[in-house]
Chains A and B, each alone.
Chain A
Amino acid sequence: DGGITQSPKYLFRKEGQNVTLSCEQNLNHDAMYWYRQDPGQGLRLIYYSQIVNDFQKGDIAEGYSVSREKKESFPLTVTSAQKNPTAFYLCASSIGFTGGSGANVLTFGAGSRLTVL
C-alpha cells in the first residue's frame, strides 16, 4: 500500500540534543512538507520541498533543518536552537507543488510526538 511512514512514533529528548525525525513516502510524490501541531494552534508549516535537492522555509523554520537528497525521503532535524520543541510533528506529501487548474490533496503520515525532558 502507498503511504507515508514517520518514525519514531514517540521520541524523548534531553535539552541541548539534536534529534532527527524520519519521513518516507512511496507515493512517488514530488512535494513534501513538515508541519508542527500544538494544542489550540492548528498546524504550522516548518519546511517544504517542491522537488529533490530543493527545500524552502515555512512559517516557523527557526531551530529546524531538513534535507531532500532522495524523492522518497524528507527528514527533519530538531536542533538545540529550537526553544520549545515539544510537539506533534506531521509529514505530508502531494503530487506536485502547483496544481494548475486543480488542487492536489495532501497525504499525511501518522505523526511523531517529540517530548523534551
Chain B
Amino acid sequence: AQSVAQPEDQVNVAEGNPLTVKCTYSVSGNPYLFWYVQYPNRGLQFLLKYITGDNLVKGSYGFEAEFNKSQTSFHLKKPSALVSDSALYFCAVRDRRDYGGATNKLIFGTGTLLAVQP
C-alpha cells in the first residue's frame, strides 16, 4: 500500500533561517508526490508536486522540495523562513488502483506544524 510519513510533529525555526520539513514515502511504482499547506481553520492549499523529471521541484511562496529516490524522501525546503510561513504542512502521495493504475486519491501524512519565530 502507498503511504507517506512525516516524522516530525513540529518544526521550529527562526525567521530568516532555512527550513526543512521532512517526508518519506513508500510506494509501488513511480511516486507522484505533493505538498500542501493549511492555515488555521482553513482548507489545504497546493504548494508543489513531483511527477517526473528534475529532482528539485519549485513551488509557491518560495518553497521547493527535493525528491530523493534512494532515500525515498521528498523534503520541503525554503532558504529563508518567514513568520507568515507558520502553518501545518502535509505531504501526500497519489494512490494507485489494485491493478496498478493511478488515481487522484491522495494519501496524506499526519502533518508537521511549522512555527517560525520572529
Contact = CB atoms under 8 A, between A and B. Distances in A.
Contacts of B102: 98-99, 103
B69 interface: no
Contacts of A103: 32, 34, 49, 51, 94, 102, 104
A107 B108 CA distance: 14
A33 B90 CA distance: 17
A104 B34 CA distance: 10
A99 B103 CA distance: 7
Given A43-B108, A103-B49, A103-B94, A98 B42 contact: no
Interface residues of B, number: 24
A52 to B, nearest CB: 16
A40 B8 CA distance: 11
Nearest to A58: B105
A4 to B, nearest CB: 8
Contacts of A107: 46
Given A94-B104, A98-B103, A98-B104, A111 B42 contact: yes
A90 interface: yes
Interface string B39-73: 00111111001010000000000000000000000
Main secondary structure on B side of the interface with A: strand
A108 B46 CA distance: 9
B104 A96 contact: yes
Residue in A42, A44, A102, A107 whose Cβ sees the most chain B Cβ within 10 Å? A42
A104 B41 contact: no
Nearest to B9: A40
Nearest to A101: B51
B13 interface: no
Interface in B99-117: 101-106, 108-111
A113 B41 contact: yes
22 contacts: A40-B110, A40-B111, A42-B90, A42-B109, A43-B44, A43-B106, A43-B108, A44-B108, A90-B44, A92-B44, A97-B103, A98-B102, A103-B34, A103-B51, A103-B104, A105-B46, A105-B49, A106-B46, A106-B106, A108-B43, A108-B45, A111-B41
